[in-house]
Structure 1
Amino acid sequence: MLARKALVLLLVLKLSACGVVVRTIDSGITSFAHSGLFHQGQHGELTEKEQVWAKIAWTYFKNNSHVETGLANSIDGYPSATMSSIADYLAALVAARQLALIDKKEFDHRLSALLHFLNRMPLFRGRLPNKIYDTKNGKMLDYEGKNQEIGWSAIDIGRLLIWLRIVSQQYPEFHEYIDKAIFRWNFCDVIDQEGSLYTGSLVNNQISLRQEGRLGYEEYAAMGFRAWGFEPTKAESLDPLEVITIYGQDIYHDARDHRDDKVLSPILTLPFSYMGIEFNWDRVDDDRSLNSRHTNSLLYQAAKQVYQVQELRYVHEKIYTARTEHILDSAPYFLYDSVFANGYAWNTISDTGKTYPGKSLVSVKAAFSMHMLWDTDYTYKLMLVIEELYDAKRGWYEGRYESTGGYEEAISSSTNATVLEALLYKKVGKLFRPNREVTHSDIRMENVFKHPGKCFPALYRKKAQLTAKRLKSKGNSLN
């Protein structure tokens, strides 16, 4: 304890020019450790109210998980899951364990059942995870709920890759089973030599490839591929980029025209929040930086712009704004609630590009993530707007309608997982923490005779090469 106090005092003296004031040693330790010098946004133990919020979010997953498959529903009561919603469940499991909502036994049981499914699930054309699965029997589904394969989503796969890597990092007892699940997949069609990501769909029983993702989700998904040794260079690049201005605030926007390839490019809160909560807007391989420092500064700048322009809307128009994609209980069932889309600010659009101005929400998941990442007077106001938007027996609702104040009572894995992620971020900081431990995948990827093929990287990571050399050297010394 004396050594710790001495270290803190030394740091305080070195950083006193930055305005750090410590009135007593004990209070100084707390304020210094939680200060903005070390952390982006909020940091510390959860309050009693926040613990209740976390329990409500976990209730969703208790209600919607299936022992038959180990899966959880993507929407309350509806037995289907995507790769993104499987990632939601993984995020919720990690948060529930680390926030003491479940014990080690329950965590082990739930995660083991899910990994068992991932190692046995049928794959689209035997190559990649299908877009949708039945959570009761594990079969592939189409958009109408029929047992049929329809293709894959690179964006959904990217999010799942991130969370499988996070679980592998933090719970190494499971890394072998995670690696084996990933090695079943064939990546030849999902990422090309330039590092672009592609979705695949069946058209006249033939696989049709289309570049997937725009500014925000494209870069986020690329982080998942990067975490497994791929080189998603094109996908993680912000080019082509243009700048639009709202309330005098410059905002980065994807310059590709959606009319050319039918890919929409809405500016949304959630992908930038995920990059903050999970990666701290750092490079994927960054394991040394403080949470107050961001080694992917361009993505941090883009995220900050998205937050600031929503705050400015409140300043100028007194409209509470926390916008991202969301589901609805009625048609059209899913919308992109954007900062900017299809040439207009504050545009709410469907997958077809049709506008729904009366369907915009103050999103629960956007508000939670903004509050934990930015911690401003405005985000405290947002929390007052949304903090009662839940059913204690079912989970958090999607949000409150901007136009009327009414609830959108649809309940999803995305919103409830994001609540848990955001609260866990407050407690532990960024969730993706690279480690240097040797894993099953390191050995497989580095060994030419055991390499899985299927367009996995020819050389996995420098870490694997160095590890193999170190193991060989250690073996020689024992001989």
Structure 2
Amino acid sequence: MMFDNVIKARSHIAFVLGLCIAAAIAYSAETGISKTLHIGQKTILIETSDAQTVLANPSVINAKDLQQAKIAWRYFERNTQDTGLVNAADNFPSTTIWDQASYLLGLIAAQKIGIVSDVEFDMRMASALTSLRALPLFDSRLPNKVYETRFLTMTNYKNDPVLRGVGWSALDVARMIVPLTTIAQHYPHHAKEALEILQAWDFSKMINDGTLYGARVTDDDATEFVQEGRLGYEEYAARAISLLGLDALRAAKFDDYLRFEKVSQQMIAVDSRSFAEFDAHNYVVSEPYILTALEFGFDSESRELAHRIYVAQENRYKNAGILTAVSEDNIDQEPYFLYNTVFANGVAWNTLAENGDQFQHLRTVSTKAAIGWNVLYDTQYTNALVKHVERTKNAEIGWYSGVYESDGTVNKIATANTNAIILQSIYYKEFGPLITQGFMKRGAS
């Protein structure tokens, strides 16, 4: 789903192209391609745990929070192109729609918490929206999966221009709906431009009978529509799409392809669609649940499933003494992109590439997951996680993606998504979920 690689100098271009290819593979896996999709039946009940983890109460942003936010914002200061778009990874001029959505959400958070002035906010927002409106669309319908940030051209994952493009991601487009609808509703100076972008996009092939579909180009240059999304990300995307009044009801259901697995003494939810039948791995990671909370606020089901995933990670620490905060992340060595999971392919705490190869020795503690869980729960364990990832901050570059579990060294890749989620997390700490903050009170229950 996310195209997050890193380059620090032009001399490393070959290295970065390798990162791009790895991210492209991981990206297509995360969306999940289905050859034959059968509508699931509600057979699994999501029961509320007796001791569900309590959400943290709102608290005023303090000096440390502001310092963390400023470091995250530094990433965007150094990676914004003249077009107004932001590199998905440090100093490499390529991006996805997911990453641009992350940037807009990070910009909204940065302005709200006071590290970006109103003048800079308006300038940056106007520039980004103008370029988003000008992007060429795949098959004249929806944004391509990848763009060159300097020239706004459609590219492949090597950042080579591709006139037609390579397809669209329903999950990426759905994420962009979140900032665009927020801008349309709350920022009058930019509302017209945000609405024009949404109105220019044709969602008719992306949603079919409540289910999400991406598009890709086949070997014979035809367009193939493929079901997209697995448990966690699929429901997050459906909530975003519902902001437009579009029907993503089937995608929004947690219980249609659901089963439970015991991991570290905790029953966690996993997607029941098998790799053998649907040609897509089912990764259980932290990020979709954290994003759901930061942007929409939990409903009863997502809150319960997030609690279970969090507790499994905390239990692993209690049982083995290993600090654990797992999500998908880029890494600074081959294979360059890994899914650090609670559960995948029948294996607990599996760390794997898209092709299924395991890389357990390269598991990382994810910076964005550690900080995200901490603002949601603020427990002794999440405090320890934040302390552990403090070493990933760099005042000149932003926050790196994480810390290697095996030896504690920093995974030195900085991305737009990691730094945007940190800004969103700090925003949430005081103001609550982006979409629902004006209508719901947050705190312990």
| Residue correspondence of structure 1 range 313-462 to structure 2 within 5 A | 313-433=316-436
Indicate the residue corresponding to 1:22 in structure 2.
Answer: none
SS of the aligned residue for 1:119 comes to helix
Residue in structure 2 matching 1:71, options 76, 85, 93 = 85
Q: What letter corresponds to residue 87 of structure 2 in structure 1? A: N
Residues 70 and 115 in structure 2, CA contact (< 8 A), matched pair in contact too: yes
Structure 1 position 274 matched with structure 2 position 277: no
Q: What per-residue deviation string (whole Å, max 9, x for no partner) do you get for residues 273-314 of structure 1? A: 000111111xxxxxxxxxxxxxx2111111111111100111
Amino acid at match of 1:154: A
**Are the equivalent residues in 1 in contact too, given 2:211–2:227 (CA < 8 A)?**
yes
- Identity over aligned residues, as a percent? 36
TM-score, with normalisation over the residues of structure 2? 0.84
Candidates 228, 239, 246, aligned match of 1:212: 228
Aligned length: 382
**Which residue of structure 2 lines up, in the alignment, with residue 170 of structure 1?**
186
2:215 is matched with which residue? Answer: 200
Q: 1:435 to 1:402 in 2, by over 3 A?
A: closer
Amino acid at match of 2:324: T
Per-residue deviation at 1:329? 2.0
Compare 197-206 and 244-253 and name the one that shifted more: 244-253
Match of 1:91 among 89, 93, 105: 105
- Asked if structure 2 preserves the Cα contact closer than 8 Å seen for 1:42 and 1:372, the reply is no
The alignment partner of 1:87 has SS state of helix
The TM-score with structure 1 as length reference comes to 0.78
* Segments of 4+ moved more than 2 angstroms: 166-170, 433-436
| Residue 252 (structure 1) aligned to one of 250, 253, 269 | 269
Q: What is the one-letter code of the residue matched to 2:73?
A: W
Match of 1:183, SS state, is: helix
What is the DSSP-based 3-state SS (H/G/I as helix, E as strand, rest coil) of the residue aligned with 1:397?
Answer: strand
1:261 aligned onto 2:278: yes
- For 1:339 and 1:325, locate their aligned partners in 2 and report how far apart those are by CA, in whole Å: 11
Spell out, residue by residue over 1:326-382, the C-alpha distance to the aligned partner (whole angstroms, 9 max, x if none).
001222111111000010100011122221111111110000000000110101111
- Aligned twin of 1:59: 74
- Counterpart-to-counterpart distance in 2, 1:199 and 1:65: 28
Which residue number in structure 2 is paired with residue 24 of structure 1? none
Q: Is the 8 A contact 2:263 2:342 kept in 1?
A: no
Counterpart for residue 105 of structure 1 = 119
Name 1:228's counterpart in structure 2. Answer: 244
State the 1:190 CA deviation.
Answer: 0.8
Q: 2:199 aligns with which of 183, 190, 193?
A: 183
Aligned equivalents of 1:161, 1:263: Cα separation in 2: 25
Instruction: Identify which of 60, 69, 86 aligns with 1:45.
Output: 60
Determine which structure has greater relative contact order: mean sequence separation of CA pairs < 8 Å that are 6+ residues apart, divided by chain length.
2
Q: Answer yes or no: is the 8 Å Cα contact 2:72–2:423 preserved in 1.
A: yes
Report the structure number with the largest CA radius of gyration. Answer: 1
Name the amino acid aligned to 1:201.
R
In structure 2, what is the Cα distance between the partners aligned to 1:218 and 1:202?
22
Runs of 5+ unmatched residues, structure 1: 1-38, 282-295, 437-479
Q: How many Å separate the matches in 1 of 2:400 and 2:131?
A: 28
Which residue of structure 1 lines up, in the alignment, with residue 25 of structure 2?
none
CA RMSD between the two structures: 1.4
SS of residue in 2 equivalent to 1:408: strand
Secondary structure in 2 aligned to 1:393?
Answer: coil
The answer on whether the counterparts of 2:265 and 2:315 sit within 8 Å (CA) in structure 1 is no
> Is the Cα–Cα contact under 8 Å of residues 400 and 413 in structure 2 kept in the other structure?
yes
Q: Is the 8 A contact 1:166 1:433 kept in 2?
A: no
